[in-house]
Structure formats: structure tokens, C-alpha cells
Amino acid sequence: MRQRLALTCLLLVAACGDRSGATPSAAGDGPFAVGTTEMTFVDTSRPTAANGDAPAKDSRTLFTRIYYPAVGMPASREVAGAVPATDDGPYPLVVFAHGFQAVSEVYRDIYLAWARAGYVVAAPDFPLSSSRSTNNRPVTSDYVNQPADLSFLIDRLLEASTRRDGVLGALIDPERIGASGQSLGGMTTMGLVFHTCCADRRIDAAIPMAGRLAAFPGGVYFGEGIDTPLLVVHGDDDQTVPYADGRAIFDAATGPRFLLTIVGGDHIVPYVAGPGNPLARPILDAVVAFSDFYLKGRADGLDRLRALGGLEHAQVEETGG
């Protein structure tokens, strides 16, 4: 038996029925240089609750970092304001939800993996759960409002992509949208995609990381017709959101579903440590492979996902088919 080292990852896979990936996308696969931009979107239709001494607001503000394929030679770092690689687009969009007390940029290496592979990634800071929240006193309870934040953000990004001016002009494919997030952001992702309270049917693939089936007011998880392809990512040494919570998501899902277990992975390191960390590397590869199959229609996407079991200290199990 192989020694279980910290860098071991365990991938358990189950595919339901004969659901295949998306039709092939014309978007390029890179590797691309990566550009970034920052935008602030204000939803005037929904309020932000009072927080400590800060009064309630009649709107919700989403400061958002956007990563996109850019013109130029691929590099290890992103370039602010780089010229978008529109000739190889439009590209699938991925919206990413940060964890409690985090800010969007801590997951930078995950965004870079996607953007280099030909995706536009939008990562907002939520009004009350980020460390930039009002009064710098983030609260967890506002997660119930965050799925609607992401739906609003998708609306605004798609609108920006229809205009000829601006960095997002003609850059996003409105028919290919994914959602992901870590910790409280993973719970937000589950609400956005799989709960009848707030399911956004535009989402074609979901990757919750270190999340759980958190309660939302009204409705149920995995209601009729909610069978979006799912990749659950969870560390089996997570002391904050136990590994059993990630497995519960996988077990409850009704559509094509995958579980990437990071053996020895805790609640933080695998998601923020960067490509040189052996706990992080499988995640960076897995999110692109899964997205390539279900958002870009790349036939080899699932083969690449399964091939993670070929790592020196990895094991792959697959059920279903």
C-alpha cells in the first residue's frame, strides 16, 4: 500500500447516465497570457443589512476582480489592463465565491489556471462576509443573499460583453457559465446552482470547494430538473468544514458528479498555497479539466481529470459510468 503522504490526493468519480459534455467551443485553449481588471457593480434592487455600527443600505455593492485571456506571451503573473485576446474568444465565464473573512484575490492561482486555459473568471468581494465588509466585521449569515449576488453579477458581466467598448467587449460566451467557491463560497455555490431557492439555470457546471449543504430559506436541494454537473473538492483533514460534509454533497447530487478528495488537505492550504504546493496542484489541474469537458466540450477533459490518479502519490476510484 502506498504511504499516505501530505501530497496524496484521492479522486472518487461517479458519472450518472449518459450525459456528455458541452458541444465543442470555438474558444482557444491557450496557454494564454492573463490580464486583470477591477469593476464595481451595485445592485439597487436588494439591500445590505446593518452591520455593527454601520447602518443598513438599500443596495448591495460587489467589488469584483476579473481575470481573462490576454494578448502576449504566457507568464507567471497577470498584467493589469492587458489587451484581451478577443480573436480566440468568446470564452466561458466562471464566477467564484470567496470564503468567510477572505477576499477574492487569495484564490489568485486558481483564477490564473482557468484564465490561462481560456476562461474569464469573475471574483467579487461580498458586502458582508469578506474582510473588506462594512466595519471590517464580516458575518456569516449573509451567505443566504450571496447566490443572488452572483446571479446579478452574471447579468452585468454578460451585458458588458455585449458592448463593443470596454475590456469585456465580446469576451464572454453567454451559453457557457460555471460557478465555484471555497468554504462559505462553496455553500454559496451550492445555493446558486442546486437549491430551488435561488438556482440559476444558466450555470452549466459547478465546483464547490470545502463546502456543505447549508440551509437556505425556502425550497430544497436537487429539486426537479436540477442535475448540473458537479465537482466537489474537499480535504480529508479539514477541521473547519468536515470532510463528511463534502461527501454528503456528492452523495445527494442527482446529476453527473465527481469528488476530488485531497488526502491530508486542511481547510485552507490546498486552495491558496499556489502551484508549487503538492496539495494545491491537483485542484488547479482538476478545475480546468472538469471545466474543459462541461463548458468547452473538450472530449479529453474527463480523461485528464481521471489521470490525476497517475500522480506518484495518488489513487483514483471511479463508480458509475
Cα gap 163→161, rounded to integer Å: 5
- Is residue 5 within 8 A of residue 315, CB to CB? The reply is no
Residue 307 identity (one-letter amino acid): A
Q: How far apart are the first and last CA of the chain?
A: 26
pLDDT at 310: 61
289 found inside a domain: yes
In a domain, 1, yes or no: no
Beta-bridge partner residues of 51: 54
Domain tally for the chain?
A: 1
Whether residue 156 lies inside any domain: the answer is yes
Nine cell digits for residue 260? 476530488
Q: Where are the beta strands (DSSP E) in 71-129?
A: 79-80, 91-97, 120-125
| Domain, as residue range, for 78 | 9-320
The beta strand positions in 164-270, using DSSP E, are 172-182, 205-209, 230-235, 257-262
Give pLDDT, residue 316. Answer: 42
**Cα-Cα-Cα-Cα dihedral sign, residues 213, 218, 220, 221:** negative
Residue with cell 468581494: 125
Each residue's pLDDT tens digit, 157-180: 999 999 988 999 999 999 999 999
Q: CA-based Rg of the chain, rounded to a whole angstrom? A: 18
- Please enumerate in sequence order all residues whose Cβ is within 8 A of that of 293, keeping only pairs 6 or more positions apart, or say none: 21, 22, 299, 300, 301, 302, 305
> Residue 3 falls within a domain, yes or no?
no
User: The cell 485571456 sits on which residue?
Assistant: 69
**CA torsion 146→104→227→279, rounded to 10°?**
-140
What single letter denotes the amino acid at residue 135? N
Q: Is the peptide bond before 47 cis (omega within 30 degrees of 0)?
A: no
Take residue 3 and report the three cell numbers written for it: 504511504
Q: Which residues, at least 6 apart from 320, have a Cβ–Cβ distance to it below 8 Å?
A: 13, 14, 15, 16
CATH number of the domain bearing residue 127 = 3.40.50.1820
**The pTM is what?**
0.93
Q: Identify whether 244 is part of a domain.
A: yes
Number of Cβ within a 10 Å radius of residue 268: 17
Domain assignment of residue 42, yes or no: yes
Look at residue 238 and tell me if it is in a domain: yes
**Does residue 135 form part of some domain?**
yes
Mean pLDDT by 10 residues, the chain (321 residues): 36 42 93 98 95 88 97 93 97 97 94 98 96 79 97 98 92 98 98 97 97 96 94 94 96 92 93 92 93 97 84 43 32
